[in-house]
């Protein structure tokens, strides 16, 4: 993915106004002394280079531990840092709608089922990867808030179904819309093609772990 200069940042040998650094408008030639080229090394070095804290981290480790290959940090340290920003975005989106992350996880698992928006407690366990005791507590708290309700399971006389209420449906939909708005903001530096390329690469990394679960 190519690195882009920020708005108003001149590229090598030019300026944000379209006039070259030597005052000659683009397209107009100038005399070049013998032994020189118009694209000088100095001009090339003026191209803005995007750097972040991970670059500084990797540079420092390479200097201190030249015996180690620190290349994985280039990818995984950035994933780790981005995950922190995503966690803040998720918490903020859910909090604005009176939810915690775990609450949205349960409501969204039910919402994704489509009408009548219900699952067994066991299916919710598998969808959210928590223990039985934890799920029971979460269902109790969401039911007390009027976001879900327990109903008898017609296929199992001893079983129950957890169903999303109208209030729970509205809350889940509103929180999801807010979350997606914040996630789009996190990806604003990438165009559509770059987002798709990144998604494809991340899928390659994650697929082996998903298959092992």
pLDDT at 4 over 70: no
pLDDT at 161 over 80: yes
Q: Confirm if 20 and 13 have CB atoms less than 8 A apart.
A: yes
Contacts of 86 (CB under 8 A, 6+ apart): 183, 186
pLDDT for 138: 95
Using CA atoms, how far apart are residues 98 and 81, in angstroms rounded to an integer?
A: 26
Average pLDDT over residues 69-97: 95
Higher pLDDT, 182 or 157: 182
Average model confidence (pLDDT) across the chain:
83
Give the tens place of pLDDT for each residue, 115-159.
Answer: 999 999 999 998 888 999 999 999 999 999 999 999 999 888 888
Using CA atoms, how far apart are residues 138 and 191, in angstroms rounded to an integer?
A: 39
């Amino acid at each position: 993915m190519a690195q882009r200069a920020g708005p108003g940042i001149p590229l090598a040998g030019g300026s944000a106004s379209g006039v070259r650094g030597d005052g000659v408008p683009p397209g107009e030639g100038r005399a070049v002394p013998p032994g020189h080229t118009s694209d000088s090394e100095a001009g090339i070095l003026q191209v803005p280079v995007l750097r972040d804290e991970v670059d500084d981290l990797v540079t420092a480790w390479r200097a201190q531990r030249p015996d180690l290959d620190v290349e994985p940090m280039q990818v995984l340290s950035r994933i780790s840092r981005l995950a922190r920003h995503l966690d803040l975005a998720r918490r903020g989106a859910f909090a604005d709608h009176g939810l915690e992350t775990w609450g949205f996880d349960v409501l969204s698992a039910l919402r994704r089922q489509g009408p009548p928006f219900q699952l067994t407690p066991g299916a919710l366990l598998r969808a959210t990867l928590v223990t039985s005791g934890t799920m029971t507590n979460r269902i109790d708290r969401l039911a007390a808030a009027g976001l879900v309700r327990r109903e008898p399971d017609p296929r199992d006389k001893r079983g129950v179904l957890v169903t999303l209420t109208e209030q729970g449906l509205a809350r889940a939909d509103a929180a999801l819309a807010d979350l997606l708005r914040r996630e789009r903001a996190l990806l604003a530096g990438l165009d559509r093609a770059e987002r798709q390329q990144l998604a494809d690469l991340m899928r390659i990394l994650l697929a082996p772990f998903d298959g092992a679960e």
